[in-house]
Each structure stands twice: as structure tokens, then as C-alpha cells.
A and B are shown apart, each in its own frame.
Chain A
Amino acid sequence: MLTPEERQEIEAELSHYPNKRAVCVDALKIIQRHRGWVSDESLRDLGEVLDMTTDELDGVATFYNLVFRRPVGRHVVLICDSVSCWIMGYEKLCQRLTSRLGVKLGETTADERFTILPIVCLGTCDHAPAMMVDNDLYRDVEADKINDVLENYK
């Protein structure tokens, strides 16, 4: 079941679009904001609210890089693997990050503190390499200082 808060937030979006279906991306993100990810059950419940089948919704959910259909850690690290960051040291940064956390890209640490995901160009290429943790952007990231960044997130 969607919570009253989730329902309320989804309904607030409806006024901006001519039909229910159009809010589905917003709705998926609302659910994810509350629960961390979007489960099969959430998709079913949301489908009923938006008059969409679960498959239609899943087709949209899986289209996007940032709708998580599997559980993630408390914090999501997005490391840019696109061309400017690659030239400016993505590989070293990624190596340091994954070995520091003991997981591969796409995995979650055992304490569920971090999930690390590759992300496409973050649009800050004059300050490469770049990464995000949750909603925060980090630019000109030095591999040696990765610990300082991670320490901000418990």
C-alpha cells in the first residue's frame, strides 16, 4: 500500500499534467524518496493509482538510470565514467573507491551504508573527475581524498 504521504505527493503532481500516466516518473521518484527503491509491490500499488498496468510502469521504471528496482544502501555514490572524467582519472578514482569500500560497481556494502553506481556525464567536465553522493556534487575529486568525501555520509 502507498502511504498517505506518498499518495498526497503524487496527487499534488497530477495538476501539472493532463492525465494520470504523465506523472508516473514523478510518482516512481516519490516512492523511491520514501523507500529508497521501487519494489514489485510498489509498482503494483502505483499502477492502481495511475490506471497503468504493472508492466507498463516497469517499462518506464527500467528505462531510467536513476529509478532503482533493487534495494540500495543508505547513500548512493554515482561516479561519472564518461569521456572527460575518463581522460582526467576516472579509472584511478574508481579503483580507489571500490577497494576502499570492498565492493564492485553496482554493489552495496555489507553494512548497507553505500551503493556505488557508474553514471553518465554529470555535466561538470571542466572539473573532472566528478562524482555525486546522494544529491551532492563533488568536483575535481582526488583519489587520495576519497575518504574525506565518504566520511560526510554515515
Chain B
Amino acid sequence: METPLTKNIPTNGDGPLDLKAYEKAGGYESLRKALRMPPADITELVKKSDLKGRGGAGFPTGEKWSFVPVGADAPHPKYLVANADEMEPGTFKDRLLLEGDPHQLIEGMIAAAYAVQADIGYIFLRAEYTLAAERMRKAIAEAYDDHHLGKNILGSTYSFDIHLHVSAGRYMCGEETALLNALEGKRANPRSKPPFPQVSGLWGKPTVVQNVETLCNVPHIVNHGPDWFKSLSHTADGGTKLYGVSGKVKRPGLWELPMGTTVREILEEHAGGMREGLKFRGLLPGGASTDFLTKQHLDTRMDFTEVQKAGSRMGTGTMIVLDDHTCPVGMLWNLEHFFAQESCGWCTPCWSGLNWAERILRSLEEGTGQPGDLEKLGFQTKINAPGHTFCALAPGAMEPLQSALKYFREDFEQHIREHRCPWK
């Protein structure tokens, strides 16, 4: 089984490969290859590979790039942003790529930038990833020293700069258009779409924003081609995927596996199943803002299409497991507390609704829940459905709630009936 994304990441706790060692392991090969190709051919390769965005939404990457204006009349500078603002609760995959193989991200950024003929790149990194910041800074400096970045990369006519922007901590910044506002030094509220960032993004110029894991796939697609990339996967979505498991399983962790590996294989073989004495009740398949899957869904293949058919989303591919000794209502209170706190306050259904939901969940946990509370929670899931809010934060926040109300309704009702949390 091939693991292109993680093959150079030391498993013994050593630091990442420096530029020389990275090149020795075959790194920056795609750069030399790409610089000899017409930029549009790279977009075409990525399109054919069926690479879908790994940040959670799963939008086809090549298609995204094809909206960027190119040619002599295209506005400049154009921007490429690596979204390294990994703040989705339960998600810890980009950290591995950033800390473990920083040159891979730089190589992916240059290849992507070359495809859309971008001039300037930013890595938008969350503040708490201090080790990643240190390692990225060092790798960027090495890349400049060796003419992999800057003017006339490797003696070609193409020039591209990368700057590391370390944020100051807010979940909202991970949303594509809010991230643009954050980079411009404004409050990170989302922008309306259209215009899409590919046409009018940073400072009104064409901008592509991609998740770290997405960009790290690009060099391998350039090197080995779309057919190879598709052959890595069990399903129609191309490539491998970083899958993670947290919660009370025997071996929480992160693994690069073929796209479309089943939930059961990840949970039972890789994470070792539940800890002794605990039973599985459900899981959020791809971070906090995805619907619960339960026992009946364990044979679902983890890709963008199949998880959706099971009523959820693959999201970031990092699962959070709920066991039978943990209160599902308490878990929901924790999740909605997060979303209510991190709402940017820009639109009313979100800032008002998420706070209502959090208060009701708290009252259930504190034993002061009332008959009718579950209907009120159900109302919030409707009012914050996709299309009713400015961005995807609130609809995402409602996904675990609406599915918990469906799968764990008896637990909610018991809290109201008994005026207490039965787990306390």
C-alpha cells in the first residue's frame, strides 16, 4: 500500500527532512517537471485525478483552479493561500503534514501556484501550532536559499513568493472568505459569494485557497499522473486520505489509508476498537460539524460520496467516537458551546440560534430542562439549515445536533424526565 503523503515523515520522533534530504528522497521533482509544462496542463492533470478538497467540503480541486482568470489580460498579483488554520474540533491531520514534512507543502504550493500562475502565496497557520511555525519558517528559508522560491525559480521565468502568516486564534478564520478578511487585517467575517475568491479574493485579486492536505497531494499527481492517483483509492474519489480517530478507543491515532476505507476498518483494525468495558454508540466521521453515524453505518466507505449517502459528511476524515459511558447530551453541549463561542456574530440565525441551543443543552445537563426543549432544539436545526445563514458555520453546528436528536432521543428525554444527567 502506497502512502505518498506520509512516506517521508519520520516515525521515530525525529524532525522533518531538510531540503537536501527531501530532494534526495525524490522531493521537488514535480517542480522541475511542472516548470516545463504549460500551466493549464497541470490543472488538467489535477482535474483528471479526481482530487477533492481535504478541508471538509470536498470540492473538486482542478475545477476550482479552472475559474481563475489566466492569460495576458488576467489581473495580477494572483494569490495562493494554504489554509493551515486547522481548528475543527477533533481534527489533527494537517498538523502531521506541517510538522512532519514542510517541504512537501511548499512543493505542493508552488505546483498549484504555477498552474494558476499565482505570484504570491500565504500559509495561514493557526497560532497554537508553534512547532509547525518553526519548521515551516526553516523550510521556507531553505527553499529561498536554493532558488525553489522567489524570483526565477530554478532558473525559469516563473517567480513565486511564500510568506507564513500566523493567526491569533479563531475558528471562523478557517472559512475561505473569512480567511481572506483576516489576511487583509479585518475582522474575520465571511464574504458573500459570488464573487468567488478565484475571481475576486485577497485585495480584490484572483485567489485560490486550499487545505494543506489537498496541496500536499499535488506534487504526487504531477509526478505519477492521474491514473496512478486514482488507483490509490478504493472508490471514485482519488488518492489516499489521512484518517484519524479520537475518543475512548484502544489506540487513538492517525493513518494514511486508501480513500474509501470503511469506517469499520479504521475504527476496529487501526484504532483497535473500543477500550475494555466500553461499547460503541456512534461517531462524528469528520470533525465536530458532521452528523453522527451509528452501528448500522460501520461498513460505510469513508469518501465524500458514500458518507453523504449514509446521512453525514466525511468532513476532515478525523472521527470522534462516542462510547456508552459518555453522555451524548453532555457531548452536544460541549460541541454547541464551541460553535456558539466561535460564531463571528455576522448573521442573526447563527449568533442567536447557537447560543439558544447551547443554553437549552446546558439546562438539560443541569437538570432544569423542560418539556418542549427538544422541539426548540429541532427548530434551531431548521432555522440554521444551509441557505439560511451567511456561511457554513451554523449549518455545520447543527449537523451533530440534528443527528443526535434522531439517534439518541431517548437520552435527551431521560434528562428532561428525571431532571438530571443520568451519567453524573
Chain A residues engaging chain B, CB cutoff 8 angstroms: 16-19, 21-26, 28-29, 59-60, 63-67, 78, 81-84, 86-88, 119-128, 132, 135-137
| Known A-B contacts A60-B186, A126-B253; A120 and B167 likewise in contact (beta carbons under 8 Å) | no
Interface size class of B (residues with CB under 8 A): 35 or more
B 81-107 to A, binary, CB cutoff 8 A, 1 in contact else 0:
000001111111011000000000000
Interface status of B314 (Cβ within 8 A of chain A): no
CB distance from A67 to the nearest CB of B (A): 5
Instruction: Tell me the complex Cα distance, A86–B318, Å.
Output: 16
Q: In the complex, what residues of A have CB within 8 A of residue B185's CB?
A: 17, 19, 21-25, 60
Q: In the complex, what residues of A have CB within 8 A of residue B141's CB?
A: none
Which of A60, A84, A127, A132 lies at the interface centre, i.e. has the most chain B CB atoms within 10 A of its CB?
A84
Known: A123-B94, A125-B246, A125-B318. 10 other contacts (CB 8 A): A19-B185, A29-B166, A29-B168, A64-B167, A66-B128, A121-B87, A121-B89, A123-B129, A125-B90, A126-B254
Specify which of B88, B131, B334, B342 is in contact with A137 (CB 8 Å cutoff): B131
Instruction: Tell me the complex Cα distance, A82–B184, Å.
Output: 28
Q: In the complex, what residues of B have CB within 8 A of residue A65's CB?
A: 168-170
Q: In the complex, what residues of A have CB within 8 A of residue B326's CB?
A: 87
A16, closest chain B residue (CB): B163
| Known A-B contacts A21-B184, A124-B95; A83 and B331 likewise in contact (beta carbons under 8 Å) | yes
Which of B168, B184, B288 lies at the interface centre, i.e. has the most chain A CB atoms within 10 A of its CB?
B168
CB distance from A76 to the nearest CB of B (A): 11
Chain B residues engaging chain A, CB cutoff 8 angstroms: 86-92, 94-95, 126-131, 163, 165-171, 182-188, 203, 244-248, 252-254, 284, 288, 318, 320-323, 326, 330-331, 334-335, 337-338, 341-342, 344
- CB of A84 within 8 A of CB of B247, answer yes
- CB of B170 within 8 A of CB of A128, answer no
B322, closest chain A residue (CB): A87
25 intermolecular pairs with C-beta atoms under 8 Å apart: A18-B203, A25-B165, A63-B187, A63-B188, A64-B167, A65-B168, A82-B338, A83-B90, A83-B288, A83-B320, A83-B331, A84-B320, A86-B331, A86-B334, A87-B320, A119-B128, A120-B342, A121-B91, A122-B128, A123-B86, A125-B89, A126-B252, A126-B253, A128-B246, A135-B130
CB distance from A12 to the nearest CB of B (A): 12
